[in-house]
C-alpha cells in the first residue's frame, strides 16, 4: 500500500514507541488507554485521546509495584504484565497481573488519579492477562491466561466468576479454551472479554509476541464452548505479529481495534485498525473492512477528519520545578531520596554503584522513539568525589552511556558501553575536563545506532562507540538519566538541565 500525503488520514503506528499490551475504552467523548509497565514506577500509564489517533499521557494508575521492598531494586521482566481497563458505576477500573503474585485491582473516579491502593483479587503464580466482564444480570466474570515460567502451563484461557465489586472469586475456575487443541495455536494469551448481540466474545492473540495473529472466540455462555476465527494477521504487509489489544466503539457508529506490533528495540508500538461487524455476526478488521484480506491498514481516515499529532511518546523536559515530568518512569520503586532540590534543573541522588546501570534503581527512563532522534542534556556532578558518575544512556539489555565522572586524576567526560556478553563496562573514550560538567548529545539513527558528542567549555568531542541499541526485558530500549557513587561512599548527586529530544519523523 502506497502512503498518501493527506492530513485527513492517520498513519500506523499511531504511537511509534513502546506501549506494551494496550487496552482501551470510551467514556463519553473521550478514550482512555492503559499499558503494561513491568518493573517501572510509576506504573500502569494512562493515556487519553479525543480521536483514537493522538494520545497524551495523563497519569498512572499505580505509584509503585508492591511489595515496595521487593521492587526497590529493578526487577526486569517482573511487575505489571498485560492489564485491562473498564468503566462502571462512575469508576475507572484497572485489573492487572503480577505473574509472581496474582491479579490486582485499582480504581479511580478520575483517570488522572488518585487511584486506590492495589487489591489482590485472585492470588496465584502464573495467572496473567486478566479482563473482567459484567453480564446483563450484574454478575461478573474474569478471563485470564497462564505463564508457563511461573505456573508450568500456557496456551490456555480460563474463566472464573468473581463478585461484581471485584473483591473476591466466588466460583470455580474453568479452562474454556485450550490452544493445544487448535491447529497451529501457540502462546494463546492476552484475552479481552466482551458481550455483543447476546454472545460472549473473547478477543485473544496467539502465535507469539513478534510473530502472532489476532483471534476472536464466540460462545453462547461465558464458559463456552467457544468457536473461533482469525481476524487479523500480517499477510503481505510489513506489520509483523499484529495482535493483542482492544475493541472500542467510537460513539458515532464506528468500531475500531487497537493493537501492538513488536518492533524489537523500539518495543511494542501502537496501531489502530478499522473494525466492523460482518453480516454473519463476526468482526472483521483492517483491510477486510473494505473487502480485502484481514491485514493491517497502514493509513486510514481519522475519526472526525482531524490531523494526526506526534507519533511518539518522547518529550523534552526543562525540570523547571526540580522534578521529572509525567513522561518519565523510574527503573525501580521511587523513594523519597531520589530527587533533591527545588530546581530549576533536576538533582538526582545516585545509588551506590556496582558498575552496571541495569542494577541501579534511581534511573529515569523514557521510551526510545521509533524514529531517528537527537537527545541533548547538560550533565554535572554536584559533589564531584572520586568514583562518582552521572550521564545519559540508551538502556536495554545492553547499553551505552555518556556523561561525566571523577577519577583519582580528576574530572573527565566519558563514553562507555556494556554489550550483552560483557562482564564489565568498556570505556570507549575519555576527555579530560576542568570541572565535572558537560553537555551531552546522543544521535540515534534509524537503525538505533548511537553516536555521541560531548561539549564542555574548551572541547567538542565526537565519538562513535559502534553501538546499536537492543531491547530490554519485555520492553524496548529507553533513554535514561542516572547518577551513581562508589560502594560504601556517600551517594552522588547528578544534576541535569534542559533535556531536549528532537525526533526526526519519517
The set of cell numbers assigned to 373 is 532522534
pTM beyond cutoff 0.95 = yes
Same domain assignment for residues 202 and 109: yes
- pLDDT > 90: percent of the chain: 90
Same domain assignment for residues 338 and 220: no
β-bridge mates for residue 106, sequence order: 94
Q: Does a structural domain hold residue 316?
A: no
What is the pLDDT, as a whole number, of residue 296?
A: 98
Q: How confident is the model at residue 122 (pLDDT cuts 50, 70, 90)?
A: very high
What is the pLDDT, as a whole number, of residue 505?
A: 81
Same domain assignment for residues 334 and 230: no
Q: Does a structural domain hold residue 10?
A: no
Same domain assignment for residues 228 and 346: no
pLDDT tens, residue by residue, 75-99 = 999 999 999 999 999 999 999 999 9
- pLDDT > 70: percent of the chain: 99
Would you give the DSSP letter of residue 297? Answer: -
What is the pLDDT, as a whole number, of residue 45?
A: 98
Q: Does a structural domain hold residue 140?
A: yes
Same domain assignment for residues 221 and 112: yes
Q: Does a structural domain hold residue 73?
A: yes
Q: Which of 245, 275, 298 is the last residue of a domain?
A: 245
pLDDT above 70 for 2:
no
SS3 label, residue 112:
coil
pLDDT tens, residue by residue, 244-271 = 999 999 999 999 999 999 999 999 999 9
What is the pLDDT, as a whole number, of residue 457?
A: 80
pLDDT above 70 for 1:
no
Q: Which of 190, 221, 245 is the last residue of a domain?
A: 245
Same domain assignment for residues 335 and 237: no
Same domain assignment for residues 341 and 476: yes
Same domain assignment for residues 59 and 162: yes
Number of domains the chain is built from: 2
> 366 vs 74, 120, 250, 323, 398, CA distance in Å?
15, 29, 30, 15, 16
Residue 401: CATH number of its domain: 2.60.120.200
Same domain assignment for residues 233 and 380: no
> 417 vs 91, 218, 428, 466, 467, CA distance in Å?
47, 50, 7, 9, 8
Q: Does a structural domain hold residue 262?
A: no
DSSP-derived pairing of the beta strands 127-134 and 389-395: unpaired
HSE-up of residue 385 (Cα within 13 Å, Cβ side): 14
Q: Does a structural domain hold residue 55?
A: yes
Q: How confident is the model at residue 491 (pLDDT cuts 50, 70, 90)?
A: confident
Q: Does a structural domain hold residue 426?
A: yes
What is the pLDDT, as a whole number, of residue 4?
A: 66
- Domain range enclosing 474: 329-503
Q: Which of 245, 272, 298 is the last residue of a domain?
A: 245
Amino acid at each position: 500500500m502506497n502512503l498518501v500525503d493527506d492530513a485527513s488520514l492517520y498513519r500506523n503506528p499511531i504511537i511509534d514507541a513502546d506501549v506494551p499490551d494496550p487496552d482501551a475504552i470510551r467514556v463519553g467523548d473521550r478514550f482512555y488507554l492503559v499499558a503494561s509497565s513491568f518493573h517501572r514506577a510509576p506504573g500502569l500509564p494512562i493515556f487519553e485521546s479525543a480521536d483514537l489517533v493522538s494520545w497524551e499521557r495523563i497519569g498512572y494508575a499505580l505509584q509503585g509495584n508492591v511489595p515496595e521492598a521487593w521492587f526497590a531494586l529493578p526487577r526486569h521482566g517482573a511487575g505489571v504484565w498485560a492489564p485491562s481497563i473498564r468503566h462502571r458505576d462512575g469508576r475507572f477500573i484497572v485489573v492487572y497481573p503480577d505473574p509472581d503474585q496474582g491479579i490486582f485491582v485499582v480504581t479511580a473516579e478520575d483517570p488522572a488519579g488518585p487511584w486506590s491502593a492495589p487489591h489482590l483479587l485472585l492470588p496465584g503464580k502464573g495467572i496473567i492477562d486478566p479482563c473482567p466482564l459484567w453480564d446483563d444480570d450484574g454478575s461478573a466474570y474474569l478471563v485470564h491466561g497462564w505463564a508457563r515460567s511461573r505456573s508450568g502451563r500456557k496456551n490456555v484461557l480460563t474463566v472464573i466468576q468473581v463478585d461484581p465489586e471485584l473483591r473476591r472469586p466466588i466460583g470455580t475456575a474453568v479452562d474454556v479454551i485450550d490452544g493445544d487443541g487448535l491447529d497451529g495455536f501457540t502462546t494463546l494469551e492476552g484475552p479481552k472479554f466482551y458481550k455483543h448481540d447476546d454472545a460472549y466474545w473473547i478477543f485473544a492473540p496467539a502465535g507469539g509476541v513478534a510473530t502472532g495473529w489476532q483471534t476472536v472466540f464466540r460462545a453462547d455462555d461465558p464458559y463456552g464452548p467457544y468457536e473461533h476465527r482469525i481476524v487479523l494477521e500480517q499477510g503481505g504487509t510489513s506489520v509483523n505479529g499484529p495482535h493483542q489489544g482492544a475493541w472500542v466503539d467510537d460513539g458515532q457508529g464506528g468500531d475500531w481495534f487497537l493493537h501492538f506490533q513488536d518492533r524489537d528495540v523500539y518495543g511494542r508500538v501502537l496501531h489502530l485498525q478499522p473494525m466492523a461487524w460482518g453480516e454473519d455476526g463476526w468482526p472483521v478488521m483492517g483491510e477486510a473492512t473494505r473487502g480485502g484480506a484481514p491485514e493491517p491498514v497502514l493509513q486510514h481516515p481519522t475519526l472526525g477528519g482531524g490531523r494526526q499529532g506526534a507519533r511518539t511518546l518522547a518529550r523534552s523536559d526543562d525540570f523547571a520545578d526540580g522534578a521529572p515530568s509525567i513522561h518519565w518512569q523510574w527503573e525501580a520503586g521511587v523513594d523519597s531520596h531520589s530527587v533533591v532540590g527545588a530546581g530549576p534543573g533536576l538533582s538526582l541522588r545516585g545509588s551506590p554503584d556496582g558498575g552496571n546501570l541495569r542494577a541501579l534503581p534511581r534511573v529515569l527512563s523514557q521510551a526510545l522513539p521509533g524514529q531517528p532522534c537527537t537527545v541533548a542534556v547538560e550533565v554535572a556532578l554536584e559533589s564531584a568525589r572520586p568514583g562518582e558518575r552521572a550521564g545519559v544512556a540508551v538502556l536495554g539489555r545492553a547499553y551505552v552511556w555518556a556523561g561525566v565522572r571523577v577519577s583519582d586524576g580528576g574530572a573527565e567526560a566519558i563514553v562507555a558501553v556494556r554489550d550483552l556478553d560483557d562482564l564489565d563496562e568498556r570505556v570507549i573514550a575519555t576527555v579530560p575536563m576542568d570541572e565535572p560538567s558537560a553537555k551531552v548529545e546522543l544521535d540515534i539513527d534509524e537503525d538505533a545506532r548511537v553516536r555521541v558528542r560531548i561539549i564542555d567549555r574548551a572541547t567538542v568531542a565526537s565519538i562513535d562507540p559502534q553501538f546499536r541499541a537492543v531491547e530490554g526485558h519485555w520492553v524496548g530500549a529507553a533513554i535514561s538519566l542516572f547518577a551513581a557513587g562508589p560502594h560504601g561512599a556517600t551517594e552522588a548527586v547528578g544534576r541535569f538541565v534542559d533535556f531536549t529530544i528532537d525526533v526526526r519523523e519519517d
